[in-house]
Amino acid sequence: MYMSRLALLRVVAWCSVSSLGLAALVEGAVAQEIGEGSGSFVFTDPEGNPDRPIKVWYHRPKKFRTSGSVVFVIHGKSRNADGYRDTWVKYAERKQYLLLCPEFSKQHYPYSRHYNLGYMVTSKGQLRDKKKWSFMAIERIFDQVVEANRLQAKQYSIYGHSGGGQFVHRLVVFLPEARFKIAVSANPGWYTMLQDGIEYPYGLGGTAVDEQQLRQSLGRRFVLLLGTADTDPNHKSLRKTPEAMAQGPHRLARGKSFYKGSKLLAKKLDVKSRWRLQTVPGVKHSNSKMSVHAAKLIQ
């Protein structure tokens, strides 16, 4: 008898997360049908990290149709996905898309290794199975939401600010096959530079990224969005390790350095890059102000 992918995921989830208890399984193993308005559901990934559930805050406009677009918005270091959702509700209503804001909580994703570095490596620095990366959770949330709500979307758009901007730019680099139409990264604090002579996480050294993957990444539609006033070298959440400081004294400088590196790499690989740098005059480290401009890029 034919079993749908959704039904199969339910079976797999039962086997994978039974230790979490029946209540957790019923609430979060598979994304539920999303009703009109704002709310949340708990996503448990049976194929990735079933012991690390993700609460997904959403907004579905009244006039949203199953043919509409899906947009992910990724929070920063404060893990306030609900606040990011609230900031983006007006944009979702304006363009009539389904808004999804996953929360990588401090309880389940406590360190940068788990969250904005994509949970690519173990605590000992060993590369983890790709299906267990945090980046992959976006792909599977998308799959489950599309199936549970009978949507027609084949791709999604994704935006992240600050720590979320770190997450997004690394997703573009390390998971270029991901199904995003456009990825927008705003005001990241530091980067994984596109140089294999610099060790991960500050560069590609020690990772499995090759030229073919870099070509694919540079060929995706990616926008780096930088506030021209995000120039405080003493910002409380700005990383100040020697490796981060080598990228520049503040976020604006580091972003320009990263983008310059991408242009040099595209020239070296003789590939036409679809990456773009856009600056927002007068804006400091503010998600709400950067979102005004990011929302114009999102379909």
Q: How far apart are CA 190 and CA 126, in angstroms?
A: 21
Q: What is the DSSP letter of 130?
A: G
β-strand pairing of 54-60 with 98-103: antiparallel
CA distances from 265 to 95, 131, 237 (A): 35, 27, 29
Taking residues 253-278, report their average pLDDT: 98
Structure confidence by residue, pLDDT tens digits, 274-294? 999 999 999 999 999 999 999
Contacts of 160 (CB under 8 A, 6+ apart): 73, 74, 75, 76, 166, 167, 168, 184, 185, 186
β-strand pairing of 275-280 with 180-186: unpaired
Residue 210: closest CA among 191, 193, 192, 196:
196
Structure confidence by residue, pLDDT tens digits, 229-255? 999 999 999 999 999 999 999 999 999
pLDDT at 21 over 70: no
181, containing H or E segment: strand 180-186
Residue 61: closest CA among 83, 99, 29, 93:
93
Q: How far apart are CA 7 and CA 30, in angstroms?
A: 9
Tell me if the bond preceding 201 is cis, omega within 30° of 0. yes
pLDDT of 32 reads: 73
Instruction: Tally the domains of the chain.
Output: 1
pLDDT at 19 over 90: no
pLDDT at 31 over 70: no
Contacts of 36 (CB under 8 A, 6+ apart): 60, 61, 62, 64
SS3 262: helix
Taking residues 223-228, report their average pLDDT: 98
Mean pLDDT of the chain: 91
Pick the residue with more confidence: 209 or 28? 209
pLDDT of 20 reads: 33
CA distances from 257 to 102, 192, 198, 236 (A): 29, 11, 14, 21
pLDDT at 221 over 90: yes
Task: Burial-class residue 4 by CB neighbours within 10 Å (0-12, 13-18, 19+).
Answer: exposed
pLDDT of 1 reads: 37
- Its domain, for residue 120, covers 5-297
Taking each helix axis as running N to C, give the angle between helix 251-269 and helix 211-218, from 0 to 180 degrees, rounded to the nearest 10.
Answer: 120
pLDDT of 4 reads: 47
pLDDT at 18 over 70: no
pLDDT band at residue 50 using 50, 70 and 90 as cut-offs? very high
Q: What CATH number should be reported for the domain holding residue 268? A: 3.40.50.1820
Q: How far apart are CA 136 and CA 118, in angstroms?
A: 9
> Which amino acid belongs to residue 180?
F
- With a pLDDT cut of 90, the percent of the chain lying above it is 88
Structure confidence by residue, pLDDT tens digits, 122-177? 999 999 999 999 999 999 999 999 999 999 999 999 999 999 999 999 999 999 99
Q: Give yes or no for a contact between 101 and 57, defined as CB atoms under 8 angstroms apart.
A: yes
Q: What is the pTM of this model?
A: 0.90
Unique residue bearing structure tokens 């904005």: 116
